[in-house]
Amino acid sequence: MAGWFWKRSNPADPSHKEETPESGILDVPWRELRWGDKQKDLKYVQEYKPAKKGIRYLRVLLYGPVGAGKSSFINSVSNVMRGRITIPALASATTADKSFTRQYKTHKFIKGRGESKTFYPLVFNDIMGLEDGEKNGVCDKDIELALEGHVKEGYEFNPTSPLNKSKYNMSPSADDKIHVLVCVMSANASQVKPSVLEKMKRVRETASDLGIPQMAILTHIDDACGETEKDLRNVYKSKHLKKKMKDLSASVGIPLNCIFPVKNYSEKIDLNDDVDFLILSALKKMVDFGDDFLEKI
Ligand SMILES: Nc1nc2c(ncn2[C@@H]2O[C@H](COP(=O)(O)OP(=O)(O)OP(=O)(O)O)[C@@H](O)[C@H]2O)c(=O)[nH]1
Ligand SMILES: [Mg+2]
């Protein structure tokens, strides 16, 4: 858990910590990427269709601490899929300690225009962030219910009590259920509180019991590493981000090869191929994992 202590230093900031990141960059990236070649992965995710009979959607659920970048990731995926900046999931304008997202919502991405308009079969569910304390943030029990498709669309999360009967979907279809669970963590966050990690652990255990594949994305890589902020292609050369990914793997028990660093579109007004490329690497894995699961159910 020690790895979640460090925030990019600002000595004027009262929360400034003395720990320094492992600085510097490696000569050779520790994961090889074909930068500049996003079209293959884009085509792959845009053309994906579940082959399983009766399944319309491959459904991904994002969860993680408040402000980690869950909603921003959904917006980023929407931008990449549609090839332009879009605003489907409202993200917070600042990093706050209270969750900005409060409703359970499915985000579908529009494909085509006018009369030929449909949706991609890859959909994302966004939820309220996890917070410290039993009466703050989303109840982990609600996330567990969402995994099995029991949470109705539009449900307004109540931190002080889990889902009530009126918003409980008694008979979820196979595509109301979650097919991939994605943990979202910020590379630039202060230490994640043990109580939050404990809630995350309970969610993971339920997902494991259900056989739902799990992976993680590490957001805010631009905020957390100056070299990566300068040039996103340094992401797998950054010693600091490598350590962050290893710490994330150790703290949430997800193998390193299932963790993907991404920079979300949060302030840019134009798309960028390198930003898209990292998002697509994560997205492709979500499609592969989800499809494997669909084939099994
Ligand atoms: N620089 C940078 N900022 C980001 C990134 N991802 C998200 N942000 C910013 O971080 C803040 C929180 O992002 P959200 O997407 O609202 O986070 P969330 O996990 O949905 O938060 P809650 O709904 O409140 O739990 C926003 O101000 C985003 O613009 C990133 O990769 N890089
Ligand atoms: Mg949100």
For a ligand 1 pocket test, name from 62, 72, 78, 241 the mutation site with the most ligand atoms within 8 angstroms of its C-beta: 72
- Residue 147, CA distances (Å) to 60, 161, 182, 255 in order: 10, 18, 11, 21
The C-alpha atoms of residue 10 and residue 221 are separated, in whole angstroms, by 17
HSE at residue 297, side-chain half, CA atoms within 13 A, is: 25
pTM of the model: 0.91
Give the three-state DSSP class for 106. strand
Atom of ligand 1 nearest to the CA of 66: 25
Instruction: Enumerate residues 6+ apart whose C-beta is below 8 A from 13.
Output: 7
pLDDT computed for residue 2 by the predictor: 39
Q: Is residue 131 within 6 Å of ligand 1 at its C-beta?
A: no
With beta carbons less than 8 A apart as the criterion, state whether 256 and 17 touch. no
| Protein residue with least CA distance to atom 6, ligand 1 | 69
Q: Is residue 169 within 6 Å of ligand 1 at its C-beta?
A: no
With beta carbons less than 8 A apart as the criterion, state whether 284 and 44 touch. yes
Judged against a pLDDT cut of 50, whether residue 231 lies above it is answered with yes
The C-alpha atoms of residue 121 and residue 68 are separated, in whole angstroms, by 25
CATH tag, 55-296: 3.40.50.300
The confidence band for 22, taking pLDDT boundaries of 50, 70 and 90, is low
Judged against a pLDDT cut of 80, whether residue 106 lies above it is answered with yes
Q: Kindly report the number of other CB atoms within 10 A of residue 68's CB atom.
A: 26
Atom of ligand 1 nearest to the CA of 267: 29
Q: Is residue 116 within 6 Å of ligand 1 at its C-beta?
A: no
C-alpha 265 – ligand 2 centre gap (Å): 14
219, β-bridge pairs:
186
Q: Is residue 69 within 6 Å of ligand 1 at its C-beta?
A: yes
Which pLDDT tens digit goes with each residue over 113-150? 899 999 999 999 999 999 998 889 988 899 999 999 99
For a ligand 1 pocket test, name from 77, 87, 92 the mutation site with the most ligand atoms within 8 angstroms of its C-beta: 92
Determine the average pLDDT of the residues in 17-32: 74
pLDDT computed for residue 267 by the predictor: 79
Determine the average pLDDT of the residues in 257-261: 98
pLDDT computed for residue 254 by the predictor: 96
Looking up tokens 């056989």 gives 211
The confidence band for 94, taking pLDDT boundaries of 50, 70 and 90, is low
Helix (H) or strand (E) holding 111: strand 110-111
pLDDT computed for residue 179 by the predictor: 98
* Average pLDDT in the chain: 89
Could you say which ligand is closest to the alpha carbon of residue 99?
A: 1
Residue 24 backbone zone (phi > 0: left; psi -120 to 50: alpha; other: beta): left
Determine the average pLDDT of the residues in 91-97: 67
Which pLDDT tens digit goes with each residue over 151-199? 999 999 989 888 877 789 999 999 999 999 999 999 998 889 999 999 9
Atom of ligand 1 nearest to the CA of 100: 24
Judged against a pLDDT cut of 80, whether residue 18 lies above it is answered with no
Atom of ligand 1 nearest to the CA of 266: 29
C-alpha 56 – ligand 1 centre gap (Å): 29
Judged against a pLDDT cut of 50, whether residue 1 lies above it is answered with no
Report the percent of the chain where pLDDT is more than 70: 89
The confidence band for 30, taking pLDDT boundaries of 50, 70 and 90, is very high
Determine the average pLDDT of the residues in 56-83: 96
Q: Is residue 87 within 6 Å of ligand 1 at its C-beta?
A: no
The confidence band for 206, taking pLDDT boundaries of 50, 70 and 90, is very high
Could you say which ligand is closest to the alpha carbon of residue 263?
A: 1
Determine the average pLDDT of the residues in 62-69: 96
